Amino acid sequence: MSFDALVAYILERLPELWLRTGEHLMLTGCSTLSAMFIGIPVGILLYRTTWLRGPMMGVIGILQTIPSLAMLVFLLALLKKIGVMPALIALTLYALLPIARNTLTGLEEVSAEVMEAAEGIGMQEYQQLMMVRIPLAAPVIVAGIRTAAVVGVGIATLSAFIGAGGLGQFINRGLALANTNLILLGAIPAALLALIVDFSIGAFEWGLRPERKRDKKGSVQSLMRQLAFMLPVALVLIGIVTYFTKPGWISESATQLETGHRIVRIGTKNFTEQLILGEMMAQLIETKTDLIVERRFNLGGTMICHGALVNGEIDLYAEYTGTGLTAILKHAVISDPEEALHYVTKTYHERFDLQWLKPFGFNNTYAISVRAADAAQNGWNTISDLKESAKNLLAGFTAEFAERPDGYPGLRQAYTLQFGDVRDFDPSLMYEAIRNNEVDVICAFATDGRIAAYNLKPLKDDRNFFPPYHAAPVIREEILKTHPELGDVLSLFGGLIDNARMQRLNFEVDGKKRRTAEVVKEFLKAKGIL
């Protein structure tokens, strides 16, 4: 990307960048503040109640080790909400440990001589605490707050997983679209923000230090102190103000509320195909109905999307039959596509009041793929054909596939097949690896654009081992009742997109780095739907 193009790229996204940065500051600032309000008193309590220390620090420590995504899913289940609230709670819980621990250590580390003097001159216990121990522990406590805030800037990027915004939204979208520019657009400001937060709390601590007589000589120094004190406060305020004055072009809810139209909230998981399907449904609904669409894209995965749908935080998203069957309903694999769809439709309706609509047509299952050239040379067409040469082949799988029972372990049994060696890859690197001859076989996703673009050949699953993963819109029955037109409109997609077409759409976005909205519009026009 040339320099001019880069500048244009950033300028174009500047307003959103500003908003996301503001959201990020708000999330980090408010969670750090509430962690202070809880953590400091807890630290003081622990200091005074020795027997509580072990159990309490244990609990807070365990909170810290919960993986962020698991924590978000858990909070979603608990609060029945996505968005800012669960994100703030999760961030607060993570910030608790450094603050409570530093408060405790700070209080403990105050010199025994000084405390003995405080007691000996006749201070009451609370006076010893308030006038001597806490002021002397303050630098350590502030250091804990500083750690919490800086780490918080990092963790806050994950808030995007549950639709709470922040710079993580760029990163998330960038990861989903394999778009480095977008990732950097989130990651670089996040890193800078961490530095700024670190600096401002450092300045705050400096301002907190007792003012020495010699400092007063220049009033500049004195003024600087005041400023240093205000710095973190200003940061949090900027965040909150930005958050609550969201420009209308980002969040349309305000106008939606004014016009009185019903809003349809569409969710997606965080990968390209989902974004394309989400955008497709959004554009269709926008043109064919007078409903207004809110895009709550890039949610952090199946559990979060499903949870949001069940709790009415979103109204629909595209799910895959295999995923619904195994991940949500915990049912064994059903190999027959019709039967699988029938089962999830019936069970979703009974259990969740959710409706599966007509599938899009493609089947995004695992596709064991090899280079087309190798396939031609060796006459490989089905997975069974690999059996002879498997021990000389190097396989590159995603970590998930290597472990899942419906992945390599099952595959090995179903085909009595054993590859020479298996390496774990990040999904996007896996495709690069086979393209660069570093591995010979990969577990591609059947609709990935790179299958065609990199000249790969998906081998036929002749033993029907892989479960079907047909995508279809899943929608809340409640909104379907009030707006039956949604069902009619979305059924236009039924069988519209086969694997090859989905591959191409994915590649337009993934490979050619085009904008999702543009690609989708083009496609819908070509199909005569728009």
Partner 1 sequence: MIKLTRVFKTFDGGRSYAVKDLSLSVDWGETLVLLGSSGCGKTTTLKMINRLIEPTKGTIEVNGRDVMDHNPVDLRRQIGYVFQEIGLFPHMTIEQNVEIVPRLLGWSIRSRRERMQELLDLVGLPAERFAERFPDELSGGQQQRVGVARALAANPTYLLMDEPFGALDALTREALQQELLTLKNQIKKTIVFVTHDLHEALLIGDRIAILHEGNLEQIGTKKDILDTPATKFVKDLFAIKRPSIFT
* CA gap 510, 488 in Å, rounded: 30
| Shortest Cβ 139–partner 1 spacing (Å) | 10
Indicate if the alpha-carbon torsion angle 237, 238, 239, 243 is positive or negative. positive
Question: Given candidates 14, 121, 220, 526, which one binds partner 1 under the rule CB under 8 A?
Answer: 121
CB-CB contact of 171 with 183 (8 Å): yes
Q: Give yes or no for residue 135 binding partner 1 (CB under 8 A).
A: yes
**With CB under 8 A as the contact rule, which of the stretches 131-139, 321-329, 427-435, 451-459 interacts with partner 1?**
131-139
Closest approach of partner 1 to the CB of residue 199, in Å: 24
The dihedral formed by the CA atoms of 269, 274, 277 and 283, expressed in degrees to the nearest 10: 60
* Site map (CB under 8 A) of partner 1, residues 139-178, x = contact: ----------------------------------------
CB 74 to partner 1: min, Å:
42
Q: In this chain, which stretch among 205-213, 259-267, 454-462, 512-520 interacts with partner 1, using CB under 8 A?
A: 205-213
> Which 360-399 residues touch partner 1, going by CB under 8 A?
none
CB of 127 to partner 1, least distance (A): 7
| Residues with Cβ within 8 Å of residue 196, at least 6 apart in sequence | 235
Cβ contacts of 230 within 8 Å, gap of 6 or more: none
* Beta strand 441-445 pairing with 394-398: parallel
Please list every residue from 479 through 518 that binds partner 1, using CB under 8 A: none
- Of 4, 113, 258, 350, the one binding partner 1 (CB under 8 A) is 113
> Does 127 participate in binding partner 1 (rule CB under 8 A)?
yes
Question: What's the min distance (Å) between Cβ of 117 and partner 1?
Answer: 3
CA angle 306, 448, 379 (to 5 degrees): 135
Q: Which of 371, 282, 272, 269 is nearest to 320 (CA)?
A: 269
Q: Is residue 188 near partner 1 by the rule CB under 8 A?
A: no
If binding is defined by CB under 8 A, does position 120 make contact with partner 1? yes
Query: Given the complex with partner 1, which of 114 and 429 has the nearer CB atom?
Result: 114
Q: Among the candidate windows 110-118, 265-273, 309-317, 473-481, which touches partner 1 by CB under 8 A? A: 110-118
Under the binding rule (CB under 8 A), the answer on residue 260 touching partner 1 is no
Rounded-to-integer distance, Cα 306 and Cα 291, Å: 22
User: Which ranges of 83-218 does DSSP label H, i.e. alpha helix?
Assistant: 84-109, 112-120, 125-127, 134-155, 168-176, 180-208
* Residue 119 sits in the site that holds partner 1 (CB under 8 A): yes
274 contacts 362 by C-beta, under 8 angstroms: no
User: Min. distance of Cβ 230 from partner 1 in angstroms?
Assistant: 22
| Sole window of 122-130, 140-148, 394-402, 448-456 interacting with partner 1 (rule: CB under 8 A) | 122-130
Is residue 213 at the binding interface for partner 1, with CB under 8 A as the rule?
yes
CA–CA separation, 337 vs 459, rounded Å? 19
Asked if 250 is part of the footprint of partner 1 (rule: CB under 8 A), the reply reads no
Range in contact with partner 1 (rule: CB under 8 A) among 118-126, 381-389, 422-430, 483-491: 118-126
Using alpha carbons, select from 512, 9, 24, 403 the residue that is nearest to residue 242: 24
Q: Which two tokens stand for residue 284?
A: 């269709």
The amino acid at residue 417 is: L
Distance between CA 309 and CA 323 in Å, rounded? 15
Asked if 122 interacts with partner 1 (CB under 8 A), we say yes
Sign of CA dihedral 254, 258, 260, 261: negative
Q: Does 219 bind partner 1 (CB under 8 A)?
A: no
**Residue 225 interacts with partner 1 (CB under 8 A)?**
no
Residues that bind partner 1 (CB under 8 A): 113-114, 116-124, 127, 132, 135-136, 210, 212-213
